Amino acid sequence: MKGLYTALMCSFDEQGNVNEKGLREIVRYNIEVSEVDGLYVNGSTGENFLISTEQKKQIFEIVKDEVGDQVKLIAQVGSLNIEEASDLAKFVTDLGYDAISAVTPFYYKFDFEEIKDYYNTILEGVDTQLIIYSIPALTGVNMNLEQFGELFENEKIIGVKFTAPDFFLLERLRHAFPDKLIYSGFDEMLLSASVLNVDGAIGSTFNVNGKRAKQIFTLAQGGKIDEAREIQKVTNDLIEEILNNGLYQTIKEMLKTQGVNAGFVRKPMKQLTEERAIKARELAKKYL
């Protein structure tokens, strides 16, 4: 399960329906061009929190059908509706996904016992492994070392997608839990996380920047920090320009220049203006 995983985008049509052909093309691009080790399906980048349960299941089915056993697959099933999360966990386990992941429950100020019960409930009656998705900036959930340790007492919880700039906590996690999988979740901090010996990374921009990300990770593992730093600099130039132009919309437009039908974003996200679409195409020409 180690390596680089793309936080997979999903192609939607103008009405917000799943565009199956486009989704399959995004999958193929990530495997054949970006050459990532796996796909993280129905995370934030897949606009997961904007779609219905049936659409989530449709996406899980299409991706598994397209991938087969070519690369590893992690299914993000987390939801404020715990029945939905449990249902999705069973659904993807039956489909043959390699692991599930679940974002910490958000919006309401859950205490840690409630968060722990959430994860344990999702895993009840499911023969699968789970990766915690920790992204405090968006969920408001900050867990400390001891709390991660309590969650890891459930042997089915095998690791964490660590999307936070707290590198002190990241180092402490790595030291305290050498047998757990730790994935870096911030693409712009991949080198810094790699130096701390993470097991891999899961990133949005890997949809268009997977090769560079893999180079950074591999070079850092080999101690070639100066070379990795140069590639991280180029990567961060790209990330900065993408963020300034509109994250998901720009990545989708860049994919379109590569012949991938990446479709549209779902409302309430807005589509790119023509000016921003031109900028996205310029970025593709510059970086891809």
For the chain, strand residue ranges (E) read 3-7, 38-41, 72-76, 99-103, 130-134, 157-162, 181-184, 200-203
Q: Pick the catalytic residue: 56, 116, 161, 214?
A: 161
User: Is there a binding annotation on residue 273?
Assistant: no
Q: Do the beta carbons of residue 39 and residue 5 sit within 8 Å? A: yes
Amino acid in the structure at residue 78: G
Active-site residue, from 97, 118, 133, 248: 133
Q: Is 114 marked within a binding site?
A: no
Angle between helices 82-95 and 53-67 (to 10 degrees): 20
- Has 134 been labeled as part of a binding site? no
Which class for 125: exposed (0-12), middle (13-18), buried (19 or more C-beta within 10 A)?
Answer: exposed
Residue 44 known to bind ligand: yes
> Which amino acid type is present at position 15?
Q
Is 204 annotated as belonging to a binding site? Answer: yes
Active site residue 161: yes
At which residue do the structure tokens 């996904």 appear? 97
Residue stretches of the annotated binding site: 44-45, 163, 185, 187-188, 204
**Active site members:** 133, 161
Residue stretches of the annotated binding site for aceneuramate: 44-45, 163, 185, 187-188, 204
